Amino acid sequence: MLPNFSPVIAGTMLWGEWGRKLDTYSISDLIHHCLLHGITTFDHADIYGGYTTEADFGAAFIQSGIKRADIQLITKCGIKLITPNRDNRVAHYDYTKDHIIKSCERSLANLKTEYLDLFLLHRPSPLMDAAEIVEAITLLKDQGKILSFGLSNFTPSQSDLIRQHTPVSYNQIEFSLTHHMPMTDGSLDYMKLHGIRPMAWAPLGVVFKESTPQTGRIKKVLQSFNKKYGSDDDTLLLNWIMRHPSKIIPVAGTADKNRISRLKLADTFVMDQEDWFELWEASMGQKVP
């Protein structure tokens, strides 16, 4: 049985050293704020904050007094960065059995938990041995340290390498209105065909980060829809993603309380089909083919 994740997941990458540099009290307060607004699932990776954000979150989680059963924790392993607290000579990927197990156990200690709701391989490696990976994952599952297993940024063929040895429940990929190629290159079709639930990182795309003809067209259409749906731009962009039949779960990487307060609203309405296509058309800059 798969974990019951919230409709929108809170991404923690920018909560620590790589972003807002929140202290323990502020992270604890933000976790409470997420729960208050229906966001119960938190997405991590061992590398976030230069290998510091998991531990920052774990300390805040203990301080929060929240029951472990009331939240879901996701993390990833496999990327080895060059940082002061690691002795890597070059940035690389490591999916040896020993590294996967040690990474999981380190994440458990950092997050102050006995189990992970979902454990992901962060990015595919040319040197990964699927059979060795599955040895590690099977052991971690048997020990109750991970409840479900998935991938991140894996193509269909790379997913097949793993799936030949063990079921894959999730794949976390980049997907948004400004990065919608997985919808037409077969990636989302593949996941739906094989029962893999997609998660989307950077779900708002570059709509608020770049000023381009594409983002200008999108903003114009979003503005025309705000009154119709009683919504805002953020919510409409997430709803556009969630309208896809593969049941994509957005991972929203914000530490802004106002934005977090609105995230759950993305799951409260269904965008009209023609409106959905109008936004896609605005992103492409041409009529739907």
Half-sphere exposure of 42 (CA within 13 A, CB side): 28
Cβ atoms of 219 and 207 within 8 Å: the answer is yes
Q: For the domain 9-210+235-268, what is the CATH code? A: 3.20.20.100
Q: Which two tokens stand for residue 93?
A: 């990927």
User: What is the residue-level pLDDT of the chain in tens, covering all 289 positions?
Assistant: 788 999 999 999 999 999 999 999 999 999 999 999 999 999 999 999 999 999 999 999 999 999 999 999 999 999 999 998 888 899 999 999 999 999 999 999 999 999 999 999 999 999 999 999 999 999 999 999 999 999 999 999 999 999 999 999 999 999 999 999 999 999 999 999 999 999 999 999 999 999 999 999 999 999 999 999 999 999 999 999 999 999 999 999 999 999 999 998 999 999 999 999 999 999 999 998 8
Predicted local confidence at residue 277, as pLDDT = 98
Predicted local confidence at residue 115, as pLDDT = 98
Predicted local confidence at residue 197, as pLDDT = 98
Query: What 3-state class would DSSP assign to 161?
Result: helix
- Residue 159: what are its φ and ψ, rounded to 5°? -65, -40
Predicted local confidence at residue 132, as pLDDT = 97
Predicted local confidence at residue 1, as pLDDT = 75
Which residues, other chains included, contact 265 with Cβ-Cβ below 8 Å and sequence gap of 6+? 231, 235
Helix (H) or strand (E) holding 151: strand 149-152
* 278 φ/ψ sector (left φ>0, alpha ψ -120 to 50, else beta): alpha
Clarify whether 115 is annotated catalytic: no
Q: Of 25, 48, 95, 170, which is the active-site residue? A: 48
